Amino acid sequence: MSLRDFKVPDFKFPKFKMKNIEKIDDLTEEAKKKGKQKEYKPGDPIPPATRYETMQDCFKDVTEKFKDNVLVTEKFDHKGKYEEITYGMFREDVLSFGTGLLEYLGLRGKRVVIVSETTYDWYVSYMTLLCSGIIAIPMDKELPSNEFENLVKRSRASAIIYSKRKKELVDSIRDKVDTVDYYIEMYADNELKGKDVGFNNIKSIGKKLYENGNNAVLDTKIDKDEFKVLIFTSGTTSAAKGVMVCNRNLTENVYACQCYVYLKPTDRLFSVLPLHHTYESTIGFLYPFSQGASVAVCEGLKYIVPNLKESKPTAMLAVPLLIESLYKKITQNIKKSGKETLVNSMIHVTNALKMVGIDIKRKVFAEIHENLGGNLRIIVSAAAPIDRKIGKWVEDIGITFLQGYGLTETAPIAALTPEADPRVGSVGKPVVCAEVKIENPNEDGEGEVWIKSSTLMLGYYENEEATNEVIKDGWFNSGDIGYQDKDGFIYITGRSKNVIVTANGKNIYPEEIELILQKDIPYISECMVYGKGEKDDLTVSLKVIPNYEYIKENVKDNMTEDEIYNLIWDEVKKVNKGLTSYKAIKYLEIKKDEFEKTTTMKIKRFAELQKDKEKEEASKKQDKSAKKEKNTDKKSKK
225-268, pLDDT tens digit by residue? 999 999 998 533 345 799 999 999 999 999 999 999 999 999 99
* Average pLDDT of the residues in 505-519: 78
Q: Which of helix, strand or coil describes residue 298?
A: coil
Q: Report whether pLDDT(623) > 90.
A: no
> Which burial class, exposed, middle or buried, applies to 230 when counting CB atoms under 10 A from its CB (0-12, 13-18, 19+)?
buried
Q: H helices within 358-408, ranges in order?
A: 361-364, 366-370, 388-396
Helix or strand (DSSP H, E) at 187: none
114-158, pLDDT tens digit by residue? 999 999 999 999 999 999 999 999 999 988 899 899 999 999 999
* Average pLDDT of the residues in 289-310: 96
1-26, pLDDT tens digit by residue? 334 444 556 677 777 777 777 677 67
Distance CA 584, CA 572 (A): 9
Q: Which pLDDT score, from 0 to 100, does residue 387 have? A: 80
Distance CA 24, CA 348 (A): 13
Q: Which CATH number fits domain 509-594: 3.40.50.720, 3.30.300.30, 3.30.420.10, 2.40.37.20?
A: 3.30.300.30
DSSP state of 597: B
Distance CA 393, CA 359 (A): 15
> Can you say whether the dihedral through the CA atoms of 226, 228, 233, 235 is positive or negative?
positive
97-110, pLDDT tens digit by residue? 999 999 999 999 99
Rounded alpha-carbon distances, angstroms, from residue 323 to 119, 223, 373: 23, 39, 15
* Average pLDDT of the residues in 334-341: 88
Q: Report whether pLDDT(303) > 80.
A: yes
Closest listed residue to residue 300, CA positions, set 459, 476, 118, 155: 118
Q: Which pLDDT score, from 0 to 100, does residue 602 have? A: 60
Of residues 455 and 549, more confidence is placed in 455
Distance CA 146, CA 465 (A): 26
Same fold for the pair 3-42+260-494 and 77-221: yes
Q: DSSP states of 188-231 as a string?
A: --PPPBTTEEEHHHHHHHHHHHHHTT--HHHHS---TTSEEEEE
Closest listed residue to residue 501, CA positions, set 407, 390, 392, 617: 407
Q: Which pLDDT score, from 0 to 100, does residue 7 have? A: 55
Residue 299 pLDDT level (bands cut at 50, 70, 90): very high
Q: Which pLDDT score, from 0 to 100, does residue 207 have? A: 98
Q: Report whether pLDDT(275) > 80.
A: yes
* Average pLDDT of the residues in 608-635: 74
Confirm if 314 and 378 have CB atoms less than 8 A apart.
yes
Distance CA 573, CA 343 (A): 49
**What amino acid occupies position 54?**
T
Average pLDDT of the chain is: 89
| Winning range, highest mean pLDDT, from 339-343, 390-394, 595-599 | 390-394
CB atoms within 10 A of CB 388: 11
Q: Report whether pLDDT(625) > 80.
A: no
Confirm if 611 and 581 have CB atoms less than 8 A apart.
no
- Looking at the DSSP bridge assignments, the partners of residue 115 are 162
Closest listed residue to residue 259, CA positions, set 392, 39, 428: 428
Superfamily of domain 3-42+260-494: ANL, N-terminal domain (3.40.50.12780)
Confirm if 379 and 323 have CB atoms less than 8 A apart.
yes
CB atoms within 10 A of CB 36: 11
The pairing of beta strand 159-162 with beta strand 111-115: parallel
Distance CA 567, CA 527 (A): 15
Backbone angles phi, psi at 44, to 5 degrees: -65, 140
Q: Which pLDDT score, from 0 to 100, does residue 134 have? A: 98
Architecture of the domain spanning 77-221: 3-Layer(aba) Sandwich (3.40)
Q: DSSP states of 401-439 as a string?
A: EEEEEE-GGGSSEEEE--TTS--TTS-BEEPTTEEEEEE
Distance CA 250, CA 408 (A): 11
Distance CA 62, CA 130 (A): 15
146-184, pLDDT tens digit by residue? 989 999 999 999 999 999 999 999 999 999 999 999 999
> Which burial class, exposed, middle or buried, applies to 145 when counting CB atoms under 10 A from its CB (0-12, 13-18, 19+)?
middle
524-575, pLDDT tens digit by residue? 988 999 888 876 678 899 999 998 988 998 899 999 999 999 999 999 999 9
Q: Report whether pLDDT(39) > 50.
A: yes
> Which burial class, exposed, middle or buried, applies to 297 when counting CB atoms under 10 A from its CB (0-12, 13-18, 19+)?
buried
Distance CA 86, CA 109 (A): 29
3-state helix, strand, coil in the chain (%, to 5): 45, 20, 35
Q: Which pLDDT score, from 0 to 100, does residue 357 have? A: 86
Distance CA 174, CA 626 (A): 63
Q: What residue spans define the domains of the chain?
A: 3-42+260-494, 77-221, 509-594, 608-638
Q: Report whether pLDDT(620) > 80.
A: no
Q: Which pLDDT score, from 0 to 100, does residue 192 have? A: 98
Interhelix angle 561-577/510-520, rounded to 10 degrees, is: 110
Confirm if 32 and 198 have CB atoms less than 8 A apart.
no
Residue 352 pLDDT level (bands cut at 50, 70, 90): very high
Q: Report whether pLDDT(458) > 80.
A: yes
Distance CA 218, CA 95 (A): 8
Q: Report whether pLDDT(392) > 80.
A: yes
- Looking at the DSSP bridge assignments, the partners of residue 449 are 438
Q: Which of helix, strand or coil describes residue 99?
A: helix
Confirm if 245 and 271 have CB atoms less than 8 A apart.
no
Q: Which pLDDT score, from 0 to 100, does residue 502 have? A: 67
Strand order in the sheet with 83-86: 83-86, 70-74, 294-297, 268-271, 315-318, 378-381, 400-406, 413-416, 429-430
Helix or strand (DSSP H, E) at 559: none
What is the chain's alpha carbon radius of gyration, rounded to the nearest angstrom? 27
Of residues 621 and 461, more confidence is placed in 461
| Exposure letters 42-66 (e unless 16+ CB within 10 A, then b) | eeeeeeebebbebbbbbbeebbeeb
Q: Which pLDDT score, from 0 to 100, does residue 293 have? A: 98
Q: Which pLDDT score, from 0 to 100, does residue 77 have? A: 95
Of residues 234 and 301, more confidence is placed in 301
Q: Which pLDDT score, from 0 to 100, does residue 17 have? A: 74
